[in-house]
Amino acid sequence: MPAQSKEAKEQIERIADFFAGPTGRTNYDRLQHYAEWNSGRFRMQAGWSGRSGEDFLQEAVSNCLTVSETGHCVRNIPPGITMMKGLKDIIWSLINHAFESQGFRMVRALPTSPEGSTDEKKAVFEPSKNFWEPDGDRLTPQQREDATTRLDAFIAFTKSDRIVHGMLLLVRDEDLDKPATLIAKRLGITEIEVFVARKRLTTLVGRYTKQMGVAK
């Protein structure tokens, strides 16, 4: 077992405090929801089923706790980056990479910081190479039409759930999926209802994916 560097020891302690403290359960639930939501959006667009959001969360945490031969953790979260933001960025990177490896391409480049943080400090994660070549992330007209059809079909599938359906329309038509306060205001509901609906969305994505699999 490689000797741990000072940075690795400090990171492992930070992670332990993050998940074992009084807000540990809440922190885990927030990250799991984040992972399920983002992996679910990819599944809607590409019909991709397989790894769950929790799988990506577990991999992210495992990478942050695994010490490489150099003595440093496989994934490093600099001290200036909060543990929540750092883990979210790693989860996003893992989902992004998995999506690309399936041979799918998004219509536009994915944002490097989904949280939209104004903090000037940026975490640098390994590997640093791009996941796809420049100009290689464009769908053909047929692929774009197929993706739109799948997304519209899923939105229609959620019509029985007024809040989830309204949230998906905001995502599709206005690219609006946060903050919860704005979504709640637009739909005339409370923030708590937004959070609860996001959990229902995860369930609906799984149910829809399973139904499509049976249909095939």
pLDDT tens sequence for the chain (216 residues): 567 888 989 999 999 888 887 888 888 888 888 888 888 766 665 555 567 788 888 899 988 988 888 888 989 999 889 999 999 999 989 888 877 765 544 443 334 444 544 444 444 444 444 444 444 445 566 766 777 788 888 888 988 889 889 988 888 777 777 777 888 888 888 877 888 888 888 888 888 887 776 555
Boundary (domain end) residue, out of 104, 138, 172: 138
Same domain for 83 and 1, yes or no, is: yes
Same domain for 116 and 200, yes or no, is: no
pLDDT of 101: 64
Domain span at 166: 139-216
pLDDT of 140: 64
pLDDT of 43: 62
Same domain for 119 and 159, yes or no, is: no
Same domain for 114 and 13, yes or no, is: yes
pLDDT of 49: 55
Same domain for 76 and 154, yes or no, is: no
Same domain for 134 and 150, yes or no, is: no
Same domain for 50 and 22, yes or no, is: yes
Same domain for 36 and 65, yes or no, is: yes
Same domain for 91 and 189, yes or no, is: no
* Amino acid letter, residue 112: T
Residue 92 dihedral angles phi and psi, to the nearest 5°: -60, -45
Same domain for 155 and 177, yes or no, is: yes
Same domain for 147 and 84, yes or no, is: no
Boundary (domain end) residue, out of 83, 113, 138: 138
Whole-angstrom Cα Rg for the chain:
19
pLDDT of 152: 83
Whole-angstrom CA distances from 62 to 59, 89, 91 are 5, 14, 11
The structural domain count of the chain equals 2
Predicted TM-score (pTM) of the model is: 0.48
Same domain for 70 and 170, yes or no, is: no
